[in-house]
Amino acid sequence: MPLLKKKPFTLLEPPKDLEPNELVYQVRFTKEIFRDYEVYLNRINLYRQRFWTCKVSGKGNLTYEEALVSEKHAAEKVPEIPKELMTPALRTIHFSMLSLKDLADTIAAKLQEHLFVGAELHGKRKKGDLCPCKILKVLEDSTVKTKYEVAWLDRNKKVTETAVVNRDDLIWKKSPFSRNSLKPFIRKSTRQSFPWVLHDKLAEKYRISMDPPQDLKGIVFIQDGAVYNKRKKDAMEVKDSGKLKKKKVEAEEAEATKKEDNHQKEEPIKYPIDDLLVQPETDDPVFTVRPLPSRDFNVPMDGVGDLLMVWDFLSSFSKLLHLWPFSLEDFENAICRKGSNVNLIVETHSSLIRLLKSEKDECFSAVQKRTRALKITLTNWTDYLCDFLEIINIGDLSTHITTIKRGHYGLLDAQVKLGILRELVNQVLETDIAREKLAGYVEERQVLLSMKRGEALEEGRKKREEKEWLKAKSVDNGATNGHGVDSTGNNQPVLSNGNHIGQNGQIAKNKGEAFSTRPNHASNRHLEIESKKTGKKKNMGVESQAEKGIDLTKKEASLLLRDEKIAASTWSIKERRRAYFERELEKRILHTNPLGKDRDYNRYWWFKRDGRVFVESSDSKLWGCYCCKEEIDALMGSLNPKGERERALQKQVEKFYSRICLELQKRSKDLATKIALEEAVHRRSTRVRALPRENPANAFLNYVNRWKED
């Protein structure tokens, strides 16, 4: 149970006389039940404060739920002490006045004196050599010292022979229990510290008395079931005796204030809060109905996650794998294709196996001893794949080795193919080549982020200097306005310091002034060059976007092109540099993160190379996707920003909204084109028999790996 400010915390009992149909509020992780919503909300806010402590590990500054998780993980690391040693260990802990560190050392020293069945230590043989051994049996003998039957172990911990040795011949080279491993055991076994007191059930199980020992009767006492240190309490009473009157007055004032607050209106809830706590209110906007995602997948539902993971990895590291990128639809259709081996699938497996083979790691160490062609080709890739499946030895996949050896890989189910690819990807991620690539991305991202921060700091410094300069000039020369004449004879406003303001709004200094608000062209030349390149690419991108728009007339497309060109031309150097950094950081992405979660913990994924927004259920059993702009708009309209998760999800969708819609428009146009081509092929097939590969639905059959290694 987590500690509240390092003190035990008791959960509330459920209310009495609950009706079967009564509306109540329950805390998810404590199962506490409340009738009043405000009391329930206050309890939730208490659990969300960061002053909880993990009882087992002692880690602080946690929320209640984080402390529960920490206790669960720490409990798994608590050493399993043999039953023979539990009683002496618990007796040492019970009513001990030592610190945690000293108590752990004391228990470790005592347990080292006790030997038990199954203990692995070192023993002296007849020749005097120390050899590892394991205690098999304790031989009780009242007349002679206790003897032990041990088994001598070799380097692989296999039993070579047995013998009977004395206690003096057995030595611990290393303590079986360290101080750090015993600390969680002590915390888990006790309900309070200084003095350390065992849990009642644990003491009863091992028949340990709950009464203080004789030597501590004058030091500790029991009151209301709790054990107190008398010396510590007396010292606190003496220290607080002078403040007793003050505390009494403060208590009376607090009670009066509390009564007044009860009559006042409750403070409004501060949003955002946990999504499950959000209640509908009268001033809420009208939320749209969240659209149901499409679940039209060719692969089985439990294989969609593997499909997306493998395709995202192959697309992100295509250059490293020397694999020409392909769309998610082509990959899905190739996976589901049965019959002959599809070139896309063959190239995918070959590129992964080729990288593993070049790494020469343990995965293919056994392959080197076999007679295999040095080069992986389209004819022998299945031999290497079978070797890989034999090495990883996963039961569900190893059963298909015979089918693959016979040349019938294409007959495997889509789930099996995805499982094989998943294991290949996991193995590739553990290679030094992949790790070096990721480490390089990390370093490059750090350099880009450092440059971005440096430019932001420099820009802020220049703005402050300009503001201070203008303020100083305004103070020195006053705020008198005048008029001047420019070189064309037109009147221009003149500041009191003699500076002219041109028609474009910029300040033109007199020749004697050294400061200029315009950027330094010599120092920022590389920024302007990059801006020109970015502007040119932006204009080209705008043109392509307009040309590829779907369901737009020529007039609408031209208006869209004109508006976006105007927007692109008005970009400042700052905006272009920001776009440049975002673009470069995306090229060096380490892994794909979800956009966020909704109220029910469903995760939303967006892959930039596909365009669709995928929805993964909280238990990862169901998948769906949104395929058009109208569905994205409806999704955003259904998110409640009062909840923490949906607020964060809404911000991420808004951030990528224009790009998501653009990709979905391209996808819709490609789909319309594909349907038109299919109809054309169908009409043609009535006259002339068309080849299967000419059908757009079979575009994946025409895949060619243009980046294939020679």
- 282 & 333 share domain: no
pLDDT at residue 689 in the model = 52
- Please report which helix (H) or strand (E) contains residue 449, including its range: helix 432-477
Q: What is the pLDDT of residues 362-386, one digit of tens each?
A: 555 555 555 566 678 778 888 888 8
Is pLDDT of 575 > 80?
A: no
Q: Is the dihedral of CA 682, 684, 685, 687 positive or negative?
A: positive
Domain end call among 74, 99, 121: 74
* Half-sphere exposure at residue 93, Cβ-oriented, CA atoms within 13 angstroms: 31
Q: What is the pLDDT of residues 505-540, one digit of tens each?
A: 443 333 333 333 333 433 344 434 444 444 444 444
- 24 & 116 share domain: no
Is pLDDT of 592 > 50?
A: yes
CB count in 10 Å sphere of residue 546: 19
pLDDT at residue 545 in the model = 42
Within a domain: residue 645? yes
Phi, psi (deg, nearest 5) at residue 299: -80, 160
pLDDT-derived band at 556 (thresholds 50, 70, 90) equals very low
Q: What is the pLDDT of residues 664-701, one digit of tens each?
A: 888 888 777 777 776 766 666 555 555 555 565 677 88
- 305 & 374 share domain: yes
- 52 & 154 share domain: no
Q: Is the dihedral of CA 191, 192, 197, 200 positive or negative?
A: negative
- 118 & 223 share domain: yes
Is pLDDT of 220 > 80?
A: no
- 218 & 328 share domain: no
Within a domain: residue 512? no
The set of long-range contacts for 664-672, using a CB threshold of 8 Å and a minimum separation of 24, is: 664/611, 664/612, 664/627, 664/628, 664/629, 664/632, 665/548, 665/549, 665/550, 665/629, 666/548, 666/611, 667/610, 667/611, 667/612, 667/627, 668/550, 668/551, 668/627, 668/628, 669/548, 669/549, 669/550, 672/550
Check if the beta carbon of residue 140 is closer than 8 Å to that of residue 146: yes
- 382 & 368 share domain: yes
- 189 & 101 share domain: yes
**For the chain, what is the mean pLDDT?**
76
Check if the beta carbon of residue 349 is closer than 8 Å to that of residue 421: yes
User: What CA–CA distance (Å, rounded) separates 613 from 378?
Assistant: 35
pLDDT at residue 615 in the model = 96
The pLDDT > 70 percentage for the chain reads 73
Within a domain: residue 452? no
Within a domain: residue 511? no
- 321 & 200 share domain: no
pLDDT at residue 311 in the model = 94
Q: What is the pLDDT of residues 254-265, one digit of tens each?
A: 665 555 455 444
Q: What is the pLDDT of residues 407-460, one digit of tens each?
A: 889 899 999 999 999 999 998 888 888 888 888 888 888 888 888 888 888 888
User: What CA–CA distance (Å, rounded) separates 155 from 135?
Assistant: 17
Q: In this predicted structure, which of 72-76, 268-272, 413-417, 528-532 has the lowest mean pLDDT?
A: 528-532
pLDDT-derived band at 599 (thresholds 50, 70, 90) equals very high
Peptide bond into 195 cis (omega under 30): yes
Is pLDDT of 606 > 90?
A: yes
Within a domain: residue 558? no
Domain end call among 74, 96, 129: 74
Phi, psi (deg, nearest 5) at residue 137: -160, 145
Q: In this predicted structure, which of 30-34, 150-154, 507-511, 618-622 has the lowest mean pLDDT?
A: 507-511
CATH code of the domain in which 144 resides:
2.30.30.140
Within a domain: residue 363? yes
User: What CA–CA distance (Å, rounded) separates 677 from 685?
Assistant: 12
pLDDT at residue 234 in the model = 52
Is pLDDT of 287 > 60?
A: yes
User: What CA–CA distance (Å, rounded) separates 482 from 485?
Assistant: 11
**DSSP characters over 250-294:** HHHHHHHHHHHHHHSPPPPP-S-B-GGG----TT---PPPPPPPB
pLDDT-derived band at 616 (thresholds 50, 70, 90) equals very high
Within a domain: residue 118? yes
Domain end call among 405, 430, 455: 430
Within a domain: residue 218? yes
User: What CA–CA distance (Å, rounded) separates 606 from 611?
Assistant: 7
The pLDDT > 90 percentage for the chain reads 18
- 15 & 101 share domain: no
The more confident residue out of 60 and 568 is 60
| Full domain range(s) for residue 367 | 301-430
The more confident residue out of 351 and 512 is 351
pLDDT at residue 419 in the model = 93
The more confident residue out of 520 and 104 is 104
pLDDT at residue 310 in the model = 94
- 664 & 613 share domain: yes
pLDDT-derived band at 269 (thresholds 50, 70, 90) equals confident
**What is the maximum span of the chain, computed from C-alpha positions, in angstroms?**
125
Domain tally, the chain: 4
The more confident residue out of 582 and 612 is 612
Q: In this predicted structure, which of 7-11, 240-244, 336-340 has the lowest mean pLDDT?
A: 240-244
- 40 & 87 share domain: no
pLDDT at residue 526 in the model = 42
